Chains A and B, each alone.
Chain A
Amino acid sequence: MSSFGLHCARKKEPELERKLRANDRQYNLSFKYATNAIKTSKYNFFTFLPLNLFEQFQRIANAYFLFLLVLQVIPEISSLSWFTTVVPLALVLSVTAAKDATDDINRHRSDNHVNNRKVQVLIDGKLRSEKWMDVQVGDIIKLENNQFVTADLLLLSSSEPLNLVYIETAELDGETNLKVRQALPATGDLGDDVSKLAGFNGEVLCEAPNNRLDRFAGTLAYAGQKYALDNEKILLRGCTLRNTEWCFGLVLFGGPETKLMQNCGKSTFKRTSVDRLMNVLVLCIFGFLALMCSILAMGNYCWELGEGSAFTLFLPRQNGHRAAFSSFLTFWSYVIILNTVVPISLYVSVEFIRLGNSFYIDWDRDMYHSRSDTPAQARTTTLNEELGQIKYVFSDKTGTLTQNIMTFNKCSINGKTYGDVLDRTGQRLEVNAHTETVDFSFNPLADPRFTFHDHALVEAVKLEIPEVHAFFRLLTLCHTVMAEEKKEGQLSYQAQSPDEGALVTAARNFGFVFRSRTPDSVSVVEMGRQRTYRLLAILDFNNVRKRMSVIVRSPEGKLSLYCKGADTIIYERLHRSCGKLMDVTTEHLNEFAGEGLRTLALAYKDLDEDFFLGWQRRHHEASVAPHHREAKLEQLYEEIESDLLLLGATAIEDKLQDGVPQTIEQLSKADIKIWVLTGDKQETAENIGYSCNLLSEEMNDVFVIGGNSPEDVRRELRNARECMKPGAAEDCAFLPATTLGKSARAIADEAVNGDFGLVINGHSLAHALDGSMERDFLRTACMCKAVICCRVTPLQKAQVVQLVKTYKRAVTLAIGDGANDVSMIKVAHIGVGISGQEGTQAVLSSDYSFAQFRFLQRLLLVHGRWSYLRMCKFLRYFFYKNFTFTFVHFWYAFFCGFSAQTVYDELFITLYNLVYTALPVLGMSLFDQDVNDAWSFQHPRLYVPGQLNLYFSKMAFFKCALHSCYSSLVLFFIPYAAVAQAARADGRDLADHQSFAVLTQTCLLFAVTLQLGLEMSYWTAVNGLFVVGSLLMYFVVTFTMYSNGLFLVLPSAFPFIGTARNTLSQPNVWLTIGLTSILCILPVVTYRFLLILLRPTINDKVMFKARQAKASPPPLPRRTRIRRTSSRRSGYAFSHAQGYGDLVTSGRFLRRPAQPRPSALAHAGRAASAFSPLGRSAGYSPTGRAQYVKAREVEVTSLQMYRTVGDDAREPPR
């Protein structure tokens, strides 16, 4: 995406308005509009090198090294040969360049693929298949179903009635529901008549290319008339044509000028907190480097004044350099020598480690979901260690915690419950996969996927108990589900809410089959008999009514009203005679609710003919009334929905995904706070909260914030706080401001006594998120263990995440599956998409994706924790080894007149980071683990240090630096003292510079390797090989480089000839190496050992336990579903959106028969359930239009099927 910044920026003079004429290429070419070819690649063969280098040198580390290189060219300054800088820099640059090149080749490929797609273009009166890139502004093209829209088009005509076309705009705005576009009647009349279209010579005058997706302004002049054009007549590139056989369009904008391309700005680039810390540290290091160099320069100044001015006999100063100038040069010379404190290989190594750890996620079999054949996927390779620091998890509910599959689980009919499986003694049995299911073979129209375990209900149906029949009749009649029968007897239902689908499907299996409907009738098969009910009225559902009713006339002519709704609502409207039944049913409802089931109460009443006719007349009057129509209708509904007779209640299970309660429990043990942000209504959300262990009966209190005014909300929040922590101060405590942070001040965590939960609904949330109250809200919410926000819009989801991000110094993770979660996924530090449920929008914008919520615990507790551990170990060790390496030079400066003389051989300086110490530390950061995954699960507390940034912080960095300081002192002064006056065994002196260099560098290498050995807690064979191999490599390389042969080939490059042989053969050299090594690690071992004894960390304890146990711990006990008896009542079970009874009766959406499915795709459908829930985003039309009105006509199943199949083929709109 980022490439577009460049591309879009390169513009000629701004275009003010666009003029074009259909079918007139000559005319249109005169304006030099962009063709439809797109170019997202950055480089071509020739520009790659200069451009890529230019980009790379914009990175500060690379630029710094380039600067060093320049310094090294100046002979007065150059203290190191050029290759010490060039070799690492070249390596880093070429690795990055190789990566960029492969990326760009892929972009070229995808560009070519897109540009070479074929589309039918009307040229010279004939339709010709042309490549996309050859399409020009003013061309007329023909699109067919499921094709991508080639360019921004003016819709001319379509195969559908009223010149409608259906498009999916997922790639543009992330909404999965379909939208409708309609052509002008004037152009629509052209139809698909090629000759007419070829003769079409309309002229369009419209706005210049811009990035506003929701607006378009222009006019079409055609046949002497002028027509206004708006967004409703435009098809934008990036959309896909759906459910439309064909359409014709006039190209308005092509390629880079399309709104899609104009929109692709830079995507936000997420950085981890370790990244940010690292940047701060690198800055600190720069400062530190400057400090060291200044000290040394000052030292040089003093030396020059004192010793240096005297020591001129053998070392004359050229041109009589004065001390000040000399110290200035020394400063820069030391900048070169000490450059290793700013490690260029750091960034490359870090990327490499993250890449490796991302692969582990991709490879994890335990995060592979076999039912959907989806492995986990790390879509970003730069955020791994942040997975080990998550403090807040924001989860969507539907499709994430739940499967979004509703199953008819239990019911209560006329005071008797059905659905439980009882054994002979009347004890309730646990239902599992082996429980015998009810055989529905008596019913040829039954849905084979429906299962039910209680035989008593079938018996009751077969016995023709009238209440049972009435119960199911109600379920078949009172709904707004659409049926589709493609083949005789094969029904599929399309329901607005999965609950309704579940109920209708249940009725279908028990012999009351809803078969088809017309605007004024419902055809059902009741126990094998075909019956058609006249549908007289639908009293639709809305949020206030919380019920829906239908009034039907049976074939026998009986008038009945069937009503289903929230139990509280229904109970208010029952006939007095139902009192006893009400009590029994209430008991059942409580029982259902306690099991976390979603309940509905059902009631009916027979209507008096005269009364109804009167009512109908008044209803008609009211519905055309000019004023107060709603209120009048409402009153009429109230009137007829009274004195109902209770039939019973249904209980639907909103199936949780596998392992959700366990996962949530694990995560909360790991001190991760879970907030559920859902679009569902409060009761539903609360219910799920209980059933997935988020809320529990044991909690001290669950606060419900439901105020409608800001004052109410504020008061409720304060009350809650007062209750949790009596005397909670009005002002919140801030954490001390960070030195470099420009963000708002962070709010400190507050401890409370006991566990609390918070439930807040959409209205209140809107107030709570207001600038003046957001801190109040945040404080209260953060004191609670669990937070559930209901009725949240996608924007609010993002706001909540942003709020926590702003005021809490904590890492957030958002997990969701739908398009409505995209915003929060993008805002959170880490976005996780649940794949394979509701399209791919969430996944496409996520950083990690997998199929099941329960994999989250593995992602965090295992992969995240390890990644964080590894990264921190890596950074600590990396800084240690480089600092130690560099500080030795600092000490040496005091003995060489601050002349920027290096201690080591230049070859060693070049290879130290790249060859001698690279692999062992990489090995550690790829394989290390303190305890294995089973133990990680067993002890979720192991996760806590990550949240507190314990493993790597400024403090840890400072400790590293101190440690390095100690080590470098040892590494310089021990060899110094050991060889200063020493002689070799053959009497020759030992203290020459080259021998000293070899001695010190060998000591250094041994010391840092031993230190690595101490750090490493998981020695695989590979690690052993890397460590030993690297040491061996040092000796091999050293002896080779210092050999006679190489010297003879290139005398000037290998001045150290013979030094290795002559030095490393001396016993006292080895004694010195041994001494320094031991002296370096001795204090570390002592310190760590005492620390483990005196203040063991959780890691130490678990490691110790694991050691004791040796074998893996027993697998986690599988928690059985806790049955609760609770007085909570879940009166819900409607989708919260307004029903579409209007549509049903208007007949508008029955106009078109459903499209036959493309057979090639049929196998891949998610035909898991007969009903296909509409994408939930339908409820959240940002424009406020009732999107689903149109979307109703869409065959959702095939749409989603397409998506599962088509994802690979689809080109990302780069």
Chain B
Amino acid sequence: MVKEENESPNRPDNTAFTQQRLPAWQPMLSAGIVIPGFVLIGLAFIGIGVALLITSRNIQVLELDYTGTEQNSPCFQCSDPDKQNCVCTLQFSINRLFEGPVFFYYGLSNYFQNYRRYGVSRDDGQLYGDLSYFKEPYDQCEPYRYDRNKRPIVPCGSVVNSLFNDTFRLFQIVNGQQKEVPLDGKGIAWWTDYNIKFRNPTVTPLRNAFNGTVKPLFWPRPAYELDTSDPANNGFINQDFLVWMRRAALPDFRKLYRRITEGDYTNGLPAGNYSLEIAYNYPVLSFNGRKMVVFSNVSWMGGKNEFLGIAYLVIGTLCVVMSVVMLIVYAKFKFPEEE
């Protein structure tokens, strides 16, 4: 039978795709790949793990709990919920230079900022400076939407209402004198938060925008007076406020409070005695929460993080061990080549 030159249109095309003959790489879990791969990955992980661990070890961290539930705690008297405007002082000492820049965090535990209904209880329209939401806040803000007199709360919602309001002053005790350590409250929030995501209404002065509204119930001062020292750090772009609004993923969290970068402390906190003056306002005892302050410095990979280093070491070691096991099994069984 002579084959015709011009093929019938019914005959399928002879392409690699239609005939399922596309060139392909067919990897297989062969001993030649898996065992050396495991060794390599294991060694790499061990290397990274060691580096991480060393780095992490070099980071200094100082954690101070000031919840005040214990009798001997300086803040014990402040933990009484009836007590208003209580101030307590925490004494601590540093025995070697706490290298700068030092970051000053506050930490809360057993605090469910990640509770869904807590999280949605905010009005992004308000926070974006949209005045129309000032009159009628978002309904998810309940019960912090209107006050008893039906006046709209701005900013509304649980997240805003629960703004952390303890304040701290740090003093170095030099020769028995308290020398205040300057705390830098700038640059603690994300750039995108205070430049784009949050906005004050374009009304000057800012307080006029809040006419007819009331401040959140728990707040001592209205939003436009959050930072009395710096008019530009007020309203919705107040950095403490922004840090709080970026709610935590987990019930135990810490948030950046201040940076210690100025004056005599550019290089860090020198060894010596310090006292931390705490304006104790924020109640946590009702839900068994705890409060703490943390001083820490950072490395290229961030703050102290032992976990990553250890995890890398463990996994790396596991890889190496497994590769040895595989090698033994392989040597014993080989690949059956009979048949």
User: Which B-chain residue is minimally distant from A900 (CB atoms)?
Assistant: B116
The reply on B196 being an interface residue by CB < 8 A is: yes
Which chain B residues (214-259) contact chain A, with CB distance < 8 Å?
243, 246-256, 259
The answer to whether residues A987 and B190 also contact, given A311-B287, A982-B302, A1071-B312 and a CB cut-off of 8 A, is no
A981 touches B (CB below 8 Å): yes
Q: Is the CB of B158 within 8 A of A316?
A: yes
A1051 vs B114: C-alpha distance when bound (angstroms)? 22
* A1089 and B18 within 8 A (CB): no
**At the interface with chain A, which of B6-14, B85-93, B272-280?**
B6-14
Q: For residue A897, which residues in chain B have a CB less than 8 angstroms away from its CB?
A: 112, 114-115, 251
Contact partner, B196, options A79, A307, A1021, A1044, Cβ 8 Å: A1044
**Which of the 9-residue segments B24-32, B170-178, B202-210, B263-271 touches chain A?**
B24-32
* Distance between Cα atoms of A431 and B157 in the complex (Å): 95
B246 touches A994 (CB 8 A): yes
Q: Are A1096 and B301 in contact (CB under 8 A)?
A: no
Taking a contact as CB atoms closer than 8 A, the residue among B13, B27, B193, B249 that contacts A1058 in the complex is B193
B116 touching A1089, Cβ below 8 Å: no
Closest chain-A Cβ to B220's Cβ sits at a distance in Å of: 16
Binary per-residue interface labels of chain B (116-144) against chain A in the complex, 1 for a CB within 8 Å, 0 otherwise: 11110000110010000000000110110
Complex: A711 Cα to B162 Cα, angstroms? 90
A1082 contacts B by Cβ under 8 Å: yes
With A307-B287, A1044-B196, A1067-B301 as known contacts, state yes or no: A1089 contacts B34, CB within 8 Å: yes
Chain B nearest Cβ from A1164, distance in angstroms: 14
For the complex, give the distance between the alpha carbons of A900 and B114 in Å: 10
Q: Give B153 Cβ to nearest chain A Cβ, in Å.
A: 13
Question: When each residue 373-384 of chain A gets 1 if its CB lies under 8 Å from chain B and 0 otherwise, what string results?
Answer: 111000000000
Contact A374 B10 (CB under 8 A): yes
B contact residues around A1155 at 8 Å (CB): none
Q: Tell whether B200 is near chain A: CB-to-CB under 8 Å.
A: no
* Bound CA–CA A314/B118 (angstroms): 8
Question: Are A993 and B19 in contact, with the CB atoms below 8 A?
Answer: no
A991 with B253: CB separation less than 8 A: yes
A193: CB under 8 A from chain B? no
Q: How far apart are the CA atoms of A374 and B10 in the complex, in Å?
A: 7
A1051 cross-chain contacts in B, Cβ below 8 A: 124-125, 128, 197
Interface centre among B128, B197, B334 (most CB of A within 10 A): B197
Q: Are B298 and A1048 interface neighbours, CB within 8 A?
A: no
B11 touches A991 (CB 8 A): no
A1052 CA / B133 CA spacing, docked (Å)? 13
Q: Does B339 count as interface, using CB distance less than 8 angstroms?
A: yes
Complex alpha-carbon distance, A739 and B118, angstroms: 45
Which of A79, A370, A374, A989 is packed against the most chain B CB atoms within 10 Å?
A989
Residues 90-117 of B, flagged 1 when their CB comes within 8 A of A and 0 if not, give: 0000000000010101000011111111
Complex-state Cα separation, A338 to B16, whole angstroms: 42
Report A-chain residues with C-beta under 8 Å of the C-beta of B13.
Answer: 363, 365
Bound complex: CA of A895 vs CA of B255, how far in Å? 18
Q: Report A1007-1027 residues with CB < 8 Å from chain B CB.
A: 1017-1023
A370 touching B307 by the CB < 8 A rule?
Answer: no
A914 within 8 A of partner (CB): no
Closest to B45 in A: A1078
Count how many chain B residues have C-beta atoms less than 8 Å from C-beta atoms of the other chain.
102
Cβ-defined partner of A370 (8 Å) among B8, B110, B252, B288: B8
Q: Are A989 and B116 in contact (CB under 8 A)?
A: no
Name the prevailing secondary structure of the A interface residues.
helix
Q: In the bound complex, what is the Cα–Cα distance between A991 and B243 (angstroms)?
A: 12
Known: A1017-B26, A1044-B192. A993 touches B335 (CB 8 A): no
Q: Which of B26, B52, B196, B243 has the most CB of A within 10 A?
A: B26
Chain A residues with Cβ below 8 Å from B197 are 1047, 1051, 1055, 1057-1058
> Once the chains are docked, how many angstroms separate the CA of A929 from the CA of B23?
12
Q: Which of A307, A929, A983 is most buried by chain B, counting CB atoms within 10 A of its CB?
A: A983
A1067 touching B300 in the complex, CB below 8 Å, given contacts A310-B288, A993-B248, A1094-B333: yes
Give chain A residues whose Cβ lies under 8 Å from the Cβ of B308.
Answer: 978, 1068, 1071-1072, 1075
Q: Contact between B311 and A974 (Cβ–Cβ < 8 Å)?
A: yes
Picked from A363, A982, A1071, the residue with its CB within 8 Å of the CB of B12 is: A363
Quick check: is A450 within 8 A (CB to CB) of the other chain? no
Contact B259 A987 (CB under 8 A): yes
Given A365-B19, A895-B114, A1088-B29, answer yes or no on A1057-B302 (Cβ-Cβ < 8 Å). no
Given known A899-B117, A1019-B27, A1085-B34, contact A989–B112 (CB-CB < 8 A): no
Q: Are B287 and A310 in contact, CB atoms less than 8 angstroms apart?
A: yes
- Hey, which chain B residues are within 8 Å of A1096, CB to CB? 335-336
Query: Which residues does chain B contribute within 8 Å of A979, judged by CB atoms?
Result: 249
Among B118, B128, B190, point to the contact of A315 (Cβ < 8 A): B118
| Residue numbers in A under 8 Å from B143 (CB-CB) | 316, 318
A residues 951-999 near B (Cβ < 8 Å) are: 974, 976-997
Is B335 a contact partner of A1092 (Cβ separation < 8 A)? yes
Residue pair B256, A988 in contact (C-beta under 8 Å): yes
From B20, which residue of chain A is reached at the shortest CB distance? A360
CB <8 Å contact, B303 and A1018:
no
Contact present for A993 and B118 (CB under 8 Å): no
Bound state CA distance, A977 and B314, in angstroms? 15
Known contacts A927-B22, A1044-B192; is-contact A307 B302 (Cβ 8 Å): no
Give the chain B neighbours of A79 by CB distance below 8 A.
116
Q: Whole-angstrom distance from the CB of B138 to the nearest CB of chain A?
A: 10
B161-200 interface code vs A (CB 8 A; 1 in, 0 out): 1100000000000000000000000001111110011000
A1104 CB-CB contact with B under 8 Å: yes
Residues of A within 8 A of B158 (CB): 314-316
- One of A977, A983, A997, A1017 near B307 (C-beta < 8 A): A977
Does B298 contact A987, Cβ atoms closer than 8 Å? yes
Contacts of A1082 in B (CB 8 A): 315, 318-319, 322
B116 touches A899 (CB 8 A): yes
A899 contacts B112, CB within 8 Å?
yes
Cβ of B305 under 8 Å from chain A: yes
Shortest distance from the beta carbon of A334 to any chain B beta carbon, whole Å: 11
Within 8 Å CB of B116, what residues of A?
A: 79, 333, 896, 899-901
The answer to whether B326 touches A1086 (Cβ under 8 A) is: yes
Closest to B1 in A: A371
Q: Are A989 and B256 in contact (CB under 8 A)?
A: yes
Cross-interface CB contact of A1068 among B27, B305, B318, B322, cutoff 8 Å: B305
Closest CB in chain A relative to B127 CB, distance in Å: 9
Please, how many angstroms separate the alpha-carbon atoms of A1138 and B44 in the complex?
Answer: 85
CA distance A983 to B303 in the complex (A): 5
Chain B, Cβ-Cβ closest to A310:
B287
Determine if A709 is an interface residue (Cβ-Cβ < 8 Å): no
Q: Which B residues lie within 8 Å of A1086 (CB)? A: 322, 326
List residues of chain A with CB under 8 Å of any chain B CB: 75, 79, 307, 310-316, 318, 333, 359-360, 362-366, 368, 370-371, 373-375, 866, 895-897, 899-901, 927, 929, 932-933, 974, 976-997, 1017-1023, 1044, 1047-1048, 1051-1052, 1055, 1057-1058, 1061-1062, 1066-1068, 1071-1072, 1075, 1078-1079, 1082, 1085-1086, 1088-1090, 1092-1094, 1096, 1101, 1103-1104, 1107
Further pairs besides A984-B303, A991-B249, A994-B246: 7, Cβ < 8 Å: A365-B13, A899-B117, A977-B311, A983-B256, A1057-B197, A1093-B329, A1093-B330
Offer 12 A-B interface pairs, CB within 8 angstroms, sorted by A: A75-B139, A311-B110, A315-B118, A333-B116, A365-B12, A983-B256, A983-B296, A989-B105, A995-B249, A1017-B27, A1020-B23, A1089-B31
- Sorted from nearest, which 10 A-B pairs have the closest CB atoms? A1058-B192, A983-B303, A996-B249, A314-B162, A363-B18, A987-B103, A310-B287, A899-B116, A901-B116, A311-B287
